[in-house]
Amino acid sequence: MSSEKVSVHGSWASRWVFILAATGSAVGLGSIWKFPYMVGEYGGGAFVLVFLACIALIGVPVMLAETLIGRRARQSPANALAALARDVGQPAAWSWAAFAGMLTALLILSFYSVVGGWSFDYILDMAKGDFQGVTPDQVGAYFGNVIGDPLRLIFWHSVFMFTSAVVIAKGVVGGLERSLRIMMPLLFVLLLVLLGYSMTTGHFMQGLHFMFDFDASKVLDGLLPAMGHAFFSLSVGVGSIMIYGAYMPKSASIGGTIVSVALLDTFVSLLAGVALFPIVFAAGLNPSEGPGLMFVTLPYAFGSVPFGQVMGVVFFILVGVAAWSSAISLLEPMVAYLVERHKISRAWVSTWLALACWLFGLGTVFSFNLWKEAKFFVNDAAGFHLYQWGAQAGLDFFGVVDFFTSRIMLPLGGLCFAVFAGWVMGRAAVRDELAMRHPLAFEATFFLMRYVAPCGILIVFAAQLWK
Ligand code: TRP
């Protein structure tokens, strides 16, 4: 028998499959739906540049840390952290970072599934020709109708959650590979087609300026959101990438692999933004429109070009699949943990977890209709209220879940993972696992993981508190 440890859940066939799976996890609604509307909300170029800096200096080092922890221990995140900590005589309580991560992942999935459902809904709407020749105002009203109808949202939310649970029940290794190999490149091609269209709108340069003009006065406001989104976009901070790392073959080089995944993900985000904003301006829409931005802008674009109807259908199918491969990675850490720990079947665990997320997701569904007026953390002229019905300011239920997960839990999770790899595991173990050819490359990576990423996270938190 070989002495190499292998995960009980299986293992990727090769480095390519890991890249596909990790890219499938990273590229999703975060790049195509969330990134553009956050850029719009936080004022364009300043947000984009801070986001890129956070990806490079914090996101990638944390992603490396997660992957190497997972691959070294070959178990689900909670057991991985406990086992590696025990190896060096540290408390097994490190596994709490992974438990917090699993919970965060489930919370994210609860709203992720609702938005994934919007994409599924749009596949049919596109196919029916609902968007042919419509004006931007009409698409806006259409979207308003969709999210205003709780039963419609619940239906698609259920479809999304159910299909994700089926895939995860069958096991991640294997099934995912086939679909991703075709769908991911196709999504990329369609984004390029959209980019081609936005070049013809006459507002392309305006879009580029909006995306890349740096306005220093906006940096501070966008700092924490940009860092949080860097984590969200790369799928780091909860153990998703750690569990995928546990399935990674020993021969694959972690450094090159992770950098490729991060580059692909970032590229898709930028591409989505550069393609979207010219259309936003051409249609006279408001960039800070919020979560509906993509669902109003793109149907309008598809509705006004030849073959737009077919392309629109294909596009929303691909977004659905991209969302779906991300959703799977959100469930996987908890599923793998429960299977390891209690020896229960994947199918059973997946069903119950999906059901719990589905239930919690109803809160997000209602945020757009029945509970629209319910606002939390209201801080306005009348002072601070934890909760107020009908307030102008404040966060709705979806806003609270999003804030808590992306801006607090993901960076905290990332901080724990980076500190664990940089300070607890020890230099020799990290060097062995990274197996970088060049000693200088290792020194630089280890420095980023040990000092830059943790300090960066703390500085952003501090800046937010003192601003
Ligand atoms: N990265 C995915 C996206 O951009 C979402 C996602 C998947 C995620 N797994 C995650 C976010 C883990 C945070 C943590 O759409």
In the predicted structure, residue 110 carries a pLDDT above the cut 90: yes
Is there an atom of ligand 1 within 6 Å of 119 CB? no
CA 303 to CA 139: how far, in whole Å?
10
Is there an atom of ligand 1 within 6 Å of 329 CB? yes
If you measure from the C-alpha of residue 134 to the centroid of ligand 1, how many angstroms do you get, rounded to a whole number? 33
CA contacts within 13 A on the Cβ side of 25: 31
- Which residue minimizes the CA distance to atom 2 of ligand 1? 26
**Residue 337 CB contacts under 8 Å (≥ 6 apart), including other chains:** 76, 77, 78, 79, 98, 102
CA 46 to CA 72: how far, in whole Å?
38
pLDDT band of residue 169 (cuts 50, 70, 90) is: confident
If you measure from the C-alpha of residue 2 to the centroid of ligand 1, how many angstroms do you get, rounded to a whole number? 34
Is there an atom of ligand 1 within 6 Å of 434 CB? no
DSSP structural state of residue 94: G
- The number of beta carbons lying within 10 Å of the beta carbon of residue 267 is 14
pLDDT band of residue 1 (cuts 50, 70, 90) is: very low
* Partners of 385 in the β-ladder: 378
pLDDT at residue 466, rounded to an integer: 84
Q: Give the residue carrying structure tokens 């952290």.
A: 81
Q: For residue 239, give the nearest of 98, 96, 353 by alpha carbon.
A: 98
If you measure from the C-alpha of residue 320 to the centroid of ligand 1, how many angstroms do you get, rounded to a whole number? 14
CA 333 to CA 331: how far, in whole Å?
6
What does the pLDDT look like over 276-303, one tens digit per residue? 999 999 999 999 999 999 999 999 999 9
pLDDT at residue 173, rounded to an integer: 62
pLDDT band of residue 43 (cuts 50, 70, 90) is: confident
In the predicted structure, residue 391 carries a pLDDT above the cut 90: no
Q: Please report which residue ranges of 200-246 form alpha helices under DSSP H.
A: 204-212, 219-234, 240-246
What does the pLDDT look like over 340-362, one tens digit per residue? 888 888 889 999 999 999 999 99
- Which residue minimizes the CA distance to atom 14 of ligand 1? 235
In the predicted structure, residue 185 carries a pLDDT above the cut 80: yes
pLDDT at residue 119, rounded to an integer: 96
If you measure from the C-alpha of residue 402 to the centroid of ligand 1, how many angstroms do you get, rounded to a whole number? 12
In the predicted structure, residue 245 carries a pLDDT above the cut 50: yes
pLDDT at residue 183, rounded to an integer: 81
Which range has the worst mean pLDDT, 171-180, 229-238, 260-269?
A: 171-180
Distances in Å between the Cα of 305 and the Cα atoms of 95, 193, 197, 275 are 52, 11, 8, 15
Mean pLDDT, rounded, for 438-442: 94
Is there an atom of ligand 1 within 6 Å of 117 CB? no
If you measure from the C-alpha of residue 377 to the centroid of ligand 1, how many angstroms do you get, rounded to a whole number? 25
Range with the largest mean pLDDT of 185-189, 337-341, 342-346, 447-451:
447-451
- Decide the pairing of beta strands 374-380 and 383-389: antiparallel
pLDDT at residue 184, rounded to an integer: 83
Q: Give the residue carrying structure tokens 């159910």.
A: 162
Query: Exposed, middle or buried, 134 (CB in 10 Å: 0-12/13-18/19+)?
Result: middle
Is there an atom of ligand 1 within 6 Å of 76 CB? no
First to last CA, the chain: 58
- Which residue minimizes the CA distance to atom 6 of ligand 1? 235
CA 276 to CA 283: how far, in whole Å?
11
Is there an atom of ligand 1 within 6 Å of 325 CB? no
Q: For residue 429, give the nearest of 44, 73, 4, 25 by alpha carbon.
A: 73
- Which residue minimizes the CA distance to atom 4 of ligand 1? 30
pLDDT at residue 174, rounded to an integer: 63
Mean pLDDT, rounded, for 365-372: 95
pLDDT band of residue 16 (cuts 50, 70, 90) is: confident
Q: For residue 68, give the nearest of 209, 213, 258 by alpha carbon.
A: 258
Ligand 1 atom with the smallest distance to the CA of 239 is 12
pLDDT band of residue 171 (cuts 50, 70, 90) is: low
The mean of the pLDDT values for the chain is 92
What does the pLDDT look like over 133-164, one tens digit per residue? 999 999 999 999 999 999 999 999 999 999 98
pLDDT band of residue 3 (cuts 50, 70, 90) is: very low
Q: Please report which residue ranges of 304-438 form alpha helices under DSSP H.
A: 308-342, 346-367, 397-402, 410-419, 427-434
Of all residues in the chain, the percent with pLDDT exceeding 70 is 97
Is there an atom of ligand 1 within 6 Å of 324 CB? no
**Residue 352 CB contacts under 8 Å (≥ 6 apart), including other chains:** none
Range with the largest mean pLDDT of 338-347, 382-391, 448-457:
448-457
Pocket test for ligand 1, best of 113, 235, 357 (most atoms within 8 A of CB): 235
Is there an atom of ligand 1 within 6 Å of 240 CB? yes
> What does the block give as tokens for 294?
């993509």
Pocket test for ligand 1, best of 160, 326, 332, 357 (most atoms within 8 A of CB): 326
pLDDT band of residue 67 (cuts 50, 70, 90) is: very high
Which range has the worst mean pLDDT, 86-100, 181-195, 256-270?
A: 181-195
What does the pLDDT look like over 200-243, one tens digit per residue? 999 999 999 999 999 888 899 999 999 999 999 999 999 999 99
Is there an atom of ligand 1 within 6 Å of 22 CB? no
In the predicted structure, residue 439 carries a pLDDT above the cut 80: yes
Is there an atom of ligand 1 within 6 Å of 29 CB? yes
Ligand 1 atom with the smallest distance to the CA of 28 is 15
Query: Exposed, middle or buried, 354 (CB in 10 Å: 0-12/13-18/19+)?
Result: buried
